[in-house]
Every structure is written in C-alpha cells, then in structure tokens.
Amino acid sequence: MFKIIFFGTSDFAIPALENLVADKRFEIVGIVTQPNRPVGRHAILTAPPVRNIALTLTTKAKVHIPIMQPERLKDETFRKWIEEVGPFCDAFVVISYGKLLPQWLLDIPKKGVVNLHGSFLPRWRGASPIQAAIAAGDKITGVTIMKIDAKMDHGPILAIAEEIIQPTDTSESLHDRLSVLGGDILPGILYEYLSDTIQPQEQDHPFATTCGILTRNDGKLNPLKTATELERLIRAYRPWPETWIEKDGKRLKILTARIAADVPSKKSGEIFTQNNLLYLACAGGTVLELLTVQPEGKKKVDAAGYLIGARRLLV
C-alpha cells in the first residue's frame, strides 16, 4: 500500500480524491487544502470544496485523515507536521490546490510530487487552461498527469488523456468532464508510476503555450474581434469571470450568444435590433446575436425581456 498526502482545494480535485480514498492500493495520510474564506456579498466564512468532501469521505469510511489548512506553507505547525509525516510517503498528489509548492516541499516524498493538470501539456501551462482552450478554438484538450518540478507545469509527463471540446462547451461543462476524466485515470497511473512500471517523459518544451490568472476585467469584450472569437470567449468565461460590454456607461453582461447569419452588420461595437432580436456588430462584418444578457444591477433576461425594458425607459 502506497502512502500519499493529497493537496487540493477546488471541486476539480474531488473525483480524484474520492477515487484515491476508495482505492485499497493507497493510504492517504493527510489532506492539505486552503483555509476557509469569506464568500459572497455577506462574506460568509466558507470551507473549500475539498475540505467538505474530505470530511464526508472520512466519516463514511470510518477512518481518520488529518486535514490541514495552512495560510502559508511555511507556517510552523504545518511545516513541522509535513516534515514528520512526509518522508514516509511515497508521493504527494496535487490537484487544483491554488499555490505553488516550494522546492523544500517537493523534495520530501520518496518519489516526488504528482500533479493532475487540466490541459494537454505542454499546451496551456498556467492557471486557466480550460478557459484558454475554449477561447483559442482548440478542438481537443485533455488532462495531464505529471511530476512537478520547479517551473510552472513544466515537469515530465506520466500520462495524457484526450477530451474533445464540444461546440457548445462552456468552461463549466468542460471543467466537469475533465475533472471526472482525471479522477478516473489518476489511481491507475499513480500506481504504475510508484510501482516503477512507467517512467516520466520530458515535455516537448518548444511547443509550450501559457495562460494566466483571470480577473473580472478580462471579461470585457473587444468588438474589434470577430463574432466567432467573441462567441468562444463568452463560453470560455462562463460562469467566471463572465463577459461584458459597456453600454450607456454601464456594464451589460453577455451570458449567452450565437453567431448570426445573413444579418447586415453595423459599426463594430454597436448594439442594434432587427425583427425584435438583439445583435452586437463585430469585426469583419460579423454579427453576434445576444441571447441572454444582464444589465448592471439587474437580473439576467433573455433578449426579448431586455428589449421590453429598453422600450419602457424610452416611454
């Protein structure tokens, strides 16, 4: 039985954690996740998804697994614990933890630190690979199981599993499929690696692409892009950071849209109506039909509801 410590925070890590806990080939001797954080308008202190599922899993399995939530990895209590327990571990597993692990921590387990990343490495190294793949119009993405080294998503690869990006995928729908895919293949690949059945293979570094941490401002749509490019961004940035344009000095969120055909275009960036439908003129004479929008400070509405509200303001 191989001993591991699991690092994870978001719900992307949950299928893998569930499968590892259920797999008798592994003993999870600790779970490390982010501290509870204030969430929402009322700043309610909320535990990360991995902590919640870890408590459920350990209760169901009637086992005790320490759950650590250090604010900083160099916190004295955490560092003392992991330096005592870690050297007896065969590996650490890191999935969507939210922090880079320092070299001193990478050096602790016997066979290093294994990571599950939501892209087809070396394409889309970084913090937002799922959004980047959709926004770029990639046809195929996947999950990569790799060993972590000192550079971001740079380490040698243990396995890759492909996933086709559907024309209607949002980052949410693709995220969920990749999460399950990764969770399904991780235990077997981890076991083979720890058993010396497979060896890590160097990435093809010259073909690497990168993506960064997204902010709300990244969601501002640039009408100098084509309708195809903007439609992909709208799907890529749903449900976060969401996409928007400025109209009358306020933000108008564009939640869903589709490429319009046979609609005469106007000046790029102009919102216009035709046959009671709502459109955004884009670059190259292309047009987006806006299906669901949300005016600043109001609830989301379909195009018909938005147009009714706009007419009322003109009365």
CATH of the domain at 235: 3.10.25.10
The ranges of the chain with pLDDT < 50 are: 313-315
Residues 223 and 191 in one domain: no
- Is residue 197 domain-shared with residue 288, that is, in the same domain? no
Query: Quick one: pLDDT at residue 230?
Result: 98
The beta strands (E) that lie in the chain are given as: 2-8, 26-32, 37-39, 44-46, 67-68, 91-95, 113-117, 125-126, 140-147, 157-164, 210-211, 243-247, 250-259, 271-274, 277-281, 287-295, 301-302
- For 209-236, how does the pLDDT look when each residue is reduced to its tens digit (9 = 90+)? 999 999 999 999 999 999 999 999 999 9
Residues 33 and 147 in one domain: yes
Distance from CA of residue 246 to its chain's centroid?
Answer: 27
Length of the chain: 315
- Are residues 279 and 220 part of one domain? yes
Residues 221 and 183 both lie in one domain: no
192 with 245, same domain: the answer is no
pLDDT of residue 314: 39
Domain membership of residue 292 as a residue range: 216-314
**How far is CA 278 from its chain centroid?**
31
Q: Which of 211, 235, 264 is the last residue of a domain?
A: 211
Q: Of 211, 229, 245, which residue is a domain's last?
A: 211
In sign, the C-alpha dihedral spanning 233, 238, 240, 245 is positive
229 and 122 belong to one structural domain? no
Do 77 and 201 lie in one domain? The reply is yes
Of 152, 180, 211, which residue is a domain's last?
211
Query: How many CB atoms lie under 10 A from the CB of residue 38?
Result: 9
Shared domain for 109 and 94, answered yes or no, is yes
279/304 Cα distance (integer angstroms): 12
Q: Are residues 75 and 201 in the same domain?
A: yes
Peptide bond into 70 cis (omega under 30): no
**Are 254 and 178 within one domain?**
no
Q: Are residues 160 and 276 in the same domain?
A: no
CATH number of the CATH domain containing 196: 3.40.50.170
Question: How many distinct structural domains can be found in the chain?
Answer: 2
Instruction: Note the pLDDT of residue 32.
Output: 98
